[in-house]
Structure 1
């Protein structure tokens, strides 16, 4: 489990992370979302002891990362896929990491096969594509068979097959009872992968909830209903307190009521239903709505020209994620 309490990080006058508190629990994939400049990478660096918090604290299974005797056995992380000596082979890189944490040598070949790099283990990492480097970084994270895994943008550079693979890997790791914490800008991918979300903006917590609850709260829900007695149903629904009704493609879209409530109104009127299906907004729509006030840079169209403006003024830094 990862626990952050009042976590704060300042760089001069810039506040990268601002009194951030959240918990990442085992047995689920937790997505870490936020616009560029939100403080995601800074937060992950503080979890791993690479940056010292200005205030607050963050613990890994109740201990600071620096106090873990063999950290790779507790938490595996991928922050920067290219953080590898370019003249080291993939196998040599992992053997060096394994030796530093007193891990068995055979574990290196196990994780190389697991991530699909067994056939290129002898090649220098500097010649790897970004997708291959990502797989090597994931292998390093898995090396100590840790109970906690932390991935920063793990699907960058992966092809569709690779994205599908890492999605299934993260789900399998969570199903084994591990803690999986992953940041990504691919919201469609997070919608398929993450059970829970931690959403931040400008270094502050915006929301922590299940993915379904986040989308529902931000986007609302609607019910699509079709019937051969549509006008009769429309009249009944329109007179129901709290309901909003609009026609769409030969059906009615109802807001303010659950699908159960719509079905009960139809039954009371003796209306036959051909479709009764709840509709929810997308994670992307919910994310944009919830973080609209925390986006660091906005694109604005003015006539034929496109302008960029910093929403946080001169002190904003796009590189602080």
Structure 2
């Protein structure tokens, strides 16, 4: 079994590699060539942590396995990333464990790639202002990936703890884009694309904040009870997701569905837009929403891509179980 540590994942799993892996697996899901298995994810009653196991099989890419890990909110005080995980891959022909891949950087990159795919396929072509709601560790990855998809000239940002925004401003500066900290009403008035990436359990972005034509990538809600958007905003948008079953159970759409404002059959798959089987944005005035719940197949596709790149890079650490 190959062991790929975090530092090697950080070196090999570039934004381009992540986008390629996630776009391909979304398409495979739409063609019903890949399946996510039921998710186990909940609070563990210790350290305020959320822990989960996600698994699945991509028959197109022969990626079979699982990711285990979660969110430990106190890790930052210990000098650690809040998200901690690892991916275990199995040989699809024999069932033998084939690789274990550190999942921290991989998760950040594949999550950012998912929102980037949604921006490429759903945002207006003339989008010029990017709005960032959230300024934690994942926000920097989200911003960098988004900036590759349109010719953004400015980033406007808001965070519940505004003292964290200078870190986001530094990322924008490094990318050569102007940054301004603003209130939510102004963020919505200016932004053509909005990424929400928080750990909120109450709605932050409201319908009155968002102008016509906006694309929203809601990336923070991945657990029962979490919420970033007003259900009325979800209902006002054309909604797409990575997987409908997760969207209505642990994703942003769980609240709008529970309120009877959105039906499961109203939610489209981003993979169908990627393959051309379904339309994406239908007008310049339409509000589009991507509910990024984070599916196992993204992790497996990313890990398989890292293994492929690692094999080409040189000698690998291998262990016998």
> TM-score, normalized by length of structure 1?
0.29
Q: Answer with 1 or 2: which has the greater Rg.
A: 1
